[in-house]
Amino acid sequence: MTVRLLPFGPAAWLLEVEVGGDVLATATALARSEAVNEVVPGACTVLVHLAPGGDYDAIGRHLLELVARAEGRVVDDRSHVVELAVTYDGEDLAAVADACSLTTAEVISRHTNATYRAAFCGFAPGFAYLTGLDPALELPRRPTPRTRLAAGSVAIAAGYSAVYPTASPGGWHLIGHTDAVLFAADRDPPALIAPGTTVHFVPT
């Protein structure tokens, strides 16, 4: 796996992971270092905030060594599992079925039978990009985003599934909704789903 190390201000490094590389495994390996204060995985990057003190360049070399040692190892710390009860009544459900040459029942079955893992979070607080979507359901984002989606909207797009944690614009295909609270500022932790979390969708 090829990793590119880039400086990111005076107290952080950004690691770019090649397409197809295991970003979550890379982030997990780096988080174990005492020189690291926080890691933030993205789609193809890992942002590493350094602990105070230490030699900046030496820590950068240390991070690359950690990635090299971790390469090829299976990282499967899935002790945190979240089950989300979903009502499959999304306004795009029929269109998704048609685009995928499936029935709506088959779309629901394929969506609920998959095991998802949160790869990274972004777009909005509590919005987790979930990998594991059945390939038969892979569709590009909608050509025209909606200006407002309800909190709890369950959606798919670009090989991911996700739940909108708050009312917001969105360009994914809506297939259902959940009453689960994905993000609450007064909760510890605020986000229900963090990177590495295993997620199961349960039909109601």
pLDDT, average across residues 170-182:
97
| φ, ψ dihedrals at 112, nearest 5° | -85, -20
Strands of 25-158 (E only): list them. 36-41, 45-50, 81-86, 116-121, 128-131, 146-149, 153-157
pTM: 0.83
> Is the CB of residue 52 less than 8 Å from the CB of residue 101?
no
CA atoms in the 13 A half-sphere facing the CB of 163? 30
pLDDT score for 54:
85
- Average pLDDT, whole number, for the chain? 91
Q: What value does the CA radius of gyration of the chain take, rounded to a whole number of Å?
A: 18
Write the CA distances from 174 to 40, 87, 112, 146, 171, integer angstroms.
Answer: 27, 11, 15, 10, 9
d(CA 63, CA 61): 5
Q: Which architecture characterizes domain 3-70 according to CATH?
A: 2-Layer Sandwich (3.30)
Q: Which architecture characterizes domain 81-203 according to CATH?
A: Beta Barrel (2.40)
Q: Which two tokens stand for residue 26?
A: 């890379």
pLDDT score for 23:
84
Q: What pLDDT digit, counting tens, does each position of 131-152 carry?
A: 999 999 999 999 999 999 999 9
- pLDDT at 1 exceeding the cut of 70: no
Q: What percent of the chain has pLDDT over 90?
A: 75
Domain map of the chain by residue range? 3-70, 81-203
Q: What pLDDT digit, counting tens, does each position of 13-64 carry?
A: 999 987 666 788 888 888 888 899 999 999 889 999 999 988 999 999 999 9
pLDDT score for 43:
86
> Is the CB of residue 181 less than 8 Å from the CB of residue 85?
no
If DSSP codes are grouped into helix, strand and coil, which group holds residue 168?
strand
pLDDT score for 75:
52
Highest mean pLDDT among 21-30, 48-57, 171-180, 182-191: 171-180
d(CA 21, CA 53): 30
Angle between helices 23-31 and 56-70 (to 10 degrees): 120
Q: Point out which residues pair with 43 in neighbouring strands.
A: none
Of the listed ranges 58-67, 107-116, 124-133, the one predicted with least confidence: 58-67
**Is the fold of 3-70 the same as that of 81-203?**
no
Q: What is the largest CA-CA distance in the chain?
A: 58
